[in-house]
Structure formats: C-alpha cells, structure tokens
Amino acid sequence: MSSTWHILGAGSLGSLWACRLARAGKAVRLILRDERRLKAYQQAGGLTLLEQDLSNRYAIPAETAAAHGPIHRLLVACKAYDAAPAVAHLAPRLAEGAEIVLLQNGLGSQDEVADQVPHARCIFASSTEGAFREDDWRVRFAGHGFNWLGDPVNPSTPEWFDDLHEAGIPAEWTVDILTRLWRKLALNCAINPLTVLHDCHNGGLLGHLPEVDAVCAELGALLCHCGQPQAAENLDEEVQRVILATAANYSSMYQDVRAGRRTEVHYLLGHACRVATRHGVALPQLEQLHQRLVDNLQARGLPSA
C-alpha cells in the first residue's frame, strides 16, 4: 500500500499539515481544485509556511482530482460544506481500504463523506491548531494546539500514525473522538453565533453572560440526550474560561462573516438543532439563536445553511 499523503485543499490547515509532513521527508501530493489553480501553484514554486519570523518554501508536488493513480491515504482539509462533493469527485481513485482523515470542524460532514465512499475508512480529527492564509500559497502557523484523531467504528490505530509525531504534528489517537468533536461543537455554538449577533470580540460576551449560560444549559441537555454526557460536563465553566482566555480575539465565525465568507453554521449550530429535532428534544433558546443567526447571515447575503 502506497504511503503517500494526498492532501485535498491547500488552504490554511491543509498547507500546515502538508509542509510539516514534507519537511519530515514524507511523500506528499497536493490535490488542487482545477487546472487554473494548479498552474498558479506551479508558478509560485511551492507552499510557504511562516512560523514566527521564519519562512520556508516547500516544493510539494501537486495535481488535480482528474489525475490518475490510486489514492491510499487522503487528508481532507477543505471546509465542511466542501468535503463531501470534493471526496465524491475523488471516489473513483480511492483504493479499497483507503484511509481518509477528515479535518473538518463541527459534525455532519464526516457522515456525508462516509456515505460517498463506503469502501474507505473515515478517520475523524479535531484540531485546536491555528493557521491562516496570508496570501495564495503562503500560510502562517498562528496558534499551537493539538490534534485528536479517531475512528468511531474501529478503535485500531492506523499504521501511519507515527508519521505525525515524526513530522512534529502534535496528535493523539482516541476512541472518544465523537466526544471531542461534540465538546468543540458545543463551545463553538455557545460563543461564535453570539459574537456575530452582538458584533463583538469573544470578551464582549462577558456583557451577555445570562444569554451564554442559557445556551450552555440547552447544549448540555442535548449532549446528554444524544449519548454524550461527558461532553456536557462543566460546559458553562469551560465556555467562560475560553471567553476569558480569548477575550481579545474574534471568533472564527465572526471573522468569516466580516470577510464575507460562507460560514460552517450548517455543521455547528445547524447540526445541533437537527439532532435535537431528531431526538424530539425541545431547545427553544438554541432554536431561537439559530434563527437569529440565519436571519443575520441572509441579511448580509451569505449562505445560511
């Protein structure tokens, strides 16, 4: 089985992973959106990773989905709403038993991908690392963090897992990946939409704590209903800790909205509301928050799903 890491999406996280793996001598190939992007990438001569005042360029080979050759290991590093269509496009190239690592935030996109490729193993990841694109093919490593990876239906650690340690990618294999993803989803639901609605940085929510607490209480109830009681433990306390620790920052959703970019709301608050409906749980605060956010996004001409 080939040990090449195919990386779909050379945006912020995809480039961060690609550069670190390439620097450690791992075989990496980027899969870019189309011939136009491939040509632009080739002209740039590679991906540049900026870390503090260091800048290094990595001439990682690239191709489009239309290239030939089987894919055995795929890192999907696009936004949640792009993941399933992007993987569907690659499905004919995925070898039997191929392993796909899904870096998407939130929940729902992982199952959409798995439905497209029943012959592959889908590994879910939850990342607290931070990166952003300064320019095309130039990515800044902005926040050290951690990556948890796991497969909800198969606890065995993939044979390539040590590649991550060798590449300096902080990571741990966990059998509780769904708990991790639910916990992060809950944090994002409690903070991000309210920063958009109140037009504030995270610390601005200290002036709206009763609203934050009401949302946390319903998120906790939802997590308990859908078999994730651990993800509900002391959620309100952690939300307040995160608000304080990141008080001067703008949430990722706030930044997306401000930049006129599509948000991942469908896989965050949208997912929480859909699961509540499926379980027959009434969560009026969460529903109202979702509706206010949808109205706000629509008023800005942004997709609300």
Site of interaction with ligand KPL (CB under 6 A): 187-188, 191-192, 202, 242, 246, 251-252
Q: Residue count at the site for ligand NAD (CB under 6 A)?
A: 25
Q: Is 39 noted as a catalytic residue in this protein?
A: no
Handedness of CA 37, 43, 45, 47 (dihedral sign): negative
Choice between 12 and 116, CB closer to ligand NAD: 12
Binding at 177: pick from ligand NAD, ligand KPL, none (beta carbon under 5-8 Å per type): none
Binding at 192: pick from ligand NAD, ligand KPL, none (beta carbon under 5-8 Å per type): ligand KPL
Choice between 212 and 267, CB closer to ligand NAD: 267
How far is Cα 63 from Cα 31, in angstroms, rounded to an integer? 5
Question: How far from chain centre, in Å, is Cα 254?
Answer: 16
- Choosing from 26, 39, 79, 184, the catalytic residue is 184
How far is Cα 163 from Cα 67, in angstroms, rounded to an integer? 25
- Helix, strand, coil fractions of the chain, as percent rounded to 5: 50, 20, 30
170 touching ligand NAD, by CB under 6 A? no
How far is Cα 292 from Cα 298, in angstroms, rounded to an integer? 10
In the range 77-106, which residues lie near ligand NAD by CB under 6 A?
77-80, 82, 86, 103-105
| Least spacing, CB of residue 186 vs ligand KPL, in Å | 9
Three-state DSSP class for 189? helix
Choice between 76 and 212, CB closer to ligand NAD: 76
Choice between 82 and 99, CB closer to ligand KPL: 82
Question: Which amino acid, one-letter code, is at 117?
Answer: V
Nearest residue to ligand NAD on Cβ basis: 11
User: Interface with ligand NAD by CB under 6 A: which range of 76-84, 155-163, 191-199, 221-229?
Assistant: 76-84
| Least spacing, CB of residue 81 vs ligand NAD, in Å | 9
Choice between 264 and 283, CB closer to ligand NAD: 264
Report residue 258: phi and psi, to 5°: -60, -35
Q: Would you give the binding string for ligand NAD spanning residues 26-55, x where CB under 6 A is met?
A: -----xxx----------------------
The answer to whether the CB of 133 falls within 8 A of the CB of 11 is yes
70 touching ligand NAD, by CB under 6 A? no
Q: How far is CA 233 from CA 7, 179, 180, 296, in A?
A: 35, 11, 12, 31
Q: Where are the beta strands (DSSP E) in the chain?
A: 5-8, 28-32, 47-51, 54-58, 62-64, 71-76, 94-102, 121-127, 130-135, 138-143, 147-150, 171-173
| Least spacing, CB of residue 272 vs ligand KPL, in Å | 13
Any long-range contacts for 141-146 (C-beta under 8 Å, 24+ apart)? 141/16, 141/49, 141/50, 141/51, 144/170, 145/170, 146/170, 146/171, 146/172
Q: Would you give the binding string for ligand NAD spanning residues 246-265, x where CB under 6 A is met?
A: ------------------x-
How far is Cα 159 from Cα 156, in angstroms, rounded to an integer? 9
Choice between 104 and 179, CB closer to ligand NAD: 104
Q: Which residues are catalytic?
A: 184
In the complex, the residues that contact ligand NAD under the rule CB under 6 A are 8-14, 31-33, 77-80, 82, 86, 103-105, 127, 129-131, 133, 264
